[in-house]
Amino acid sequence: MKGRLAVLLPVWAWLLVFVAAPAAILLAIALAEADSGVPPFRLAWSLTGFATLAEDRYYLDAVLTALRIAAMTATGCLLIAYPMAMGIARAAPGRRMLLLALLMLPFWTGFLLRVGAWIGLLRDQGWINGMLMALGITEAPLPLLYSEGAMLVGMVHSYLPFAVLPLFAALLRLDPTLGEAAADLGAGPATAFVTVTLPVTAPAAAAGFLLVFIPAAGEFVIPELMGPPEAQLVGRVLWQEFFQNHDWPVAAALALALLLLLLVPIRLFQRLEARP
Amino acid sequence: MFRRLLPLFALLLMAVPATAQDRVLNVYNWSDYIDPEVVARFTRETGIRVRYDVYDSLETLEGRLSAGRSGYDIVVPTSEPTFARLVRAGALRPVDRAAVPNWTNLNPTLMQRVATIDPGNRHGAIYLWGTVGLGIRLDRVRAALGDVPLDNLDILLKPENAARLAACGIMLMDSPTDVLPSVLRWLGRDPNSSATDDMRAAERALMAIRPHVRAIIASSSILDALATGEACVALTYSGDVIQAAARAREAGRGVEVGYVMPREGAQLWFDMMAIPADAPNPEAAQQFINFLLQPDVMAAITNQVRYPNAVPASQPLVNEAVRNDPNVFPSAEALSRSFVAGTPPREAVRLRTRLWSRFKAGR
């Protein structure tokens, strides 16, 4: 019992200092009243912040857009992650480390640097348009940057390792004889994948999906730098409330709402995991 | 992007090997906005070490300051909205004029214009100033629009022109306070109005060109986009356009950028040297302001960053090309038509931001 307490104490301390306390501060600001001053609010018990969220359809739209984009990003990541993870898991053990390192390598460079590289590729005077025009495929540069497609490419690329790693771990544990048995029973590779690999790795796929979905839902930088102006995701709206409207209570209320909303998929995932 | 950081690194290198004195001045200024040699000279003359940080948007600056205890001694907020808001919030320390004898070098007419938001000019001195206008790729705009006069906002705000320019790239800075007043002025209305029908008219005008707008982004990103030729027409700060033009010339890829100061009257803005109320070293800050207000120091800064300053005695020391560029130093006649953005009440700010969000979302 004592040992258990010693193990759990740091965990609870961590949660208290880095999760509960900031959430409490956030709640205090959400209930405050906006004011001109330093800091720009006056502590109170006011529901104005939350009321603003409920009255103006703009915020709901921003949340829905963010959830849609996050779901598309997570799906895109999984579609790419499956073949990658299978390739890495089936490679000779010696090459696995190399392949994993190649997957992680871009991850170690600055996040902004990678976004900057994509901007360089996609812009009018960028490499892709330069190549298309040199080959005579298009005459004028295609408007690639500042589009939803560009934003999705940037987000899928940034979050891809989060989807690959859990899948890779699950595939590594997958008993190879299962595949052989399926083949013996006459299943082609596609059937074997759908009937054997997919169900066995489903929890890992769900974990990968959530690991991408949750940070992507609050993403600010990539929509701002690569997305179209109309993509008003909740991350951007939060930024506007905080920096342009100087309405910290509304910003805090919105952040809390997003936090609560993201708890739903996490709970669902826990239920899925708990199943035998 | 990296090139913009280079002067900063150079600056840091120069600023560090100061004297053994522990007096440090913490400066927080816009990126690409000073002559690094000036900072080195200040350290040589006073023995005060300078820690120099930069921001590239007012939001960054204001975010740091409104949390309190920023640790900076000198900040350079733009007159409206940030400087005005900081004055009202009591976040700035009044400048002791006795410690800044060079204050008398400031152009009183320009300071008078700032006094509308800082009564008695108690909290700040003008560092540099400029106008809001259009950065355009001259050849492309000529090709698309033919022989129209390139001296007003018709280029951008007439929907038929915007439609013709859409393919080559229209951008606006993501800042309602910097865009709406110019739109209202173009419509022949009061640029500082918060009246409902004026706001509606501005929204209609913006929505009419919205399908043709490529990006609504931070002014620093527009500077890059103009320099690379990505933007064909962009509504942004005068000095950014002039810097982008210089950068495009250096790159030598045939991108020629010009500045259009709206004939109908341009929005003026002033970047103010100010001292946060909780500055750790306000005496050094006042020394720095006094140092910067010397004519030769201001001339060196204007030569470097191509924004006009508010010290008339620096004029003879400014390079002729910069001094005679009407886009850098607007004529007295153009200045008389220009206007200063006022301070809308809180509720009006929210309405403007909402209008702006609808404009960005395009619905």
**What's the confidence (pLDDT) of residue B32?**
83
For the record, the structure tokens of A5 come out as 């307490």
The answer to whether the Cβ–Cβ distance between A244 and B346 falls below 8 Å is no
CATH 3.40.190.10 for the B2-129+268-329 domain, yes or no: yes
**What's the confidence (pLDDT) of residue A267?**
86
The DSSP output letter for B311 is: -
**What's the confidence (pLDDT) of residue B5?**
47
For the record, the structure tokens of A28 come out as 């205090």
Tell whether A247 is within 8 A of chain B (Cβ): yes
Rounded to two decimals, the pTM is: 0.80
Summary mean pLDDT of chain A = 90
* Nearest C-alpha in A relative to B213: A229
The answer to whether the beta carbons of residues A33 and A41 sit under 8 Å apart is yes
**Level-2 CATH architecture, domain A58-246:** Orthogonal Bundle (1.10)
Peptide bond connecting A161 to the previous residue in cis, omega within 30 degrees of 0? no
**What's the confidence (pLDDT) of residue A1?**
60
Residues in chain A within 8 Å Cβ distance of B221:
225
Residue ranges of A 48-77 with Cβ closer than 8 A to chain B: 56, 58, 61
Cα gap B328→B339, rounded to integer Å: 16
Phi/psi of residue B343, nearest 5 degrees: -110, 100
- Tell me the mean pLDDT in the region A183-196: 87
For the record, the structure tokens of B79 come out as 């007159």
Closest CA to B262 of B135, B167, B80: B135
pLDDT grade, residue A64 (50/70/90)?
A: very high
**What's the confidence (pLDDT) of residue B287?**
97
Tell me how close the Cα of B265 comes to any Cα of chain A, in angstroms.
25
Closest CA to B134 of B296, B329, B266: B266
Tell me how close the Cα of A249 comes to any Cα of chain B, in angstroms.
14
The answer to whether the Cβ–Cβ distance between A125 and B221 falls below 8 Å is no
- Where does CATH 3.40.190.10 sit in chain B? 2-129+268-329, 131-265+340-361
Residues in chain B within 8 Å Cβ distance of A123:
228, 230
**What's the confidence (pLDDT) of residue B346?**
72
Q: Which of A16-30, A98-112, B120-134 has the lowest mean pLDDT?
A: A98-112
**What's the confidence (pLDDT) of residue A276?**
54
* Nearest C-alpha in A relative to B346: A245
Tell whether A177 is within 8 A of chain B (Cβ): no
Peptide bond connecting B94 to the previous residue in cis, omega within 30 degrees of 0? no
Pairing outcome for strands B267-276 and B170-173: unpaired
**What's the confidence (pLDDT) of residue A12?**
93
Buried b / exposed e across B281-304, counting CB within 10 Å, b at 16+? Answer: bbebbbbbbbbbbbbebbbbbbbb
> What does the pLDDT look like over A117-154, one tens digit per residue?
999 999 888 899 999 999 998 888 888 988 999 999 99
**What's the confidence (pLDDT) of residue B186?**
96
* Chain B residues within 8 angstroms (CB to CB) of chain A: 1, 59-60, 62-63, 65-68, 85, 88-91, 167, 169, 175-176, 213-217, 221, 228-230, 253, 277, 346, 349-350, 353-354, 357, 360-363
Tell whether A246 is within 8 A of chain B (Cβ): yes
Quote helix, strand, coil % in chain A, to nearest 5. Answer: 80, 0, 20
The answer to whether the Cβ–Cβ distance between A232 and B169 falls below 8 Å is no
**ipTM of the modeled complex:** 0.73
Tell me how close the Cα of B105 comes to any Cα of chain A, in angstroms.
32
Cα gap B295→B300, rounded to integer Å: 9
The answer to whether the Cβ–Cβ distance between B63 and A243 falls below 8 Å is yes
**What's the confidence (pLDDT) of residue B349?**
82
Cα gap A164→B361, rounded to integer Å: 34
The answer to whether the Cβ–Cβ distance between B353 and A244 falls below 8 Å is yes
CATH superfamily of the domain spanning B131-265+340-361: Periplasmic binding protein-like II (3.40.190.10)
What residue type is B72 in one-letter code?
Y
For the record, the structure tokens of B354 come out as 């909402």
The residues of chain B scoring below 70 in pLDDT are 1-22
Kindly compute the dihedral angle of the four CA atoms of residues A71, A72, A74, A78, in this order, to the nearest 10 degrees: 130
The answer to whether the Cβ–Cβ distance between A229 and B215 falls below 8 Å is yes
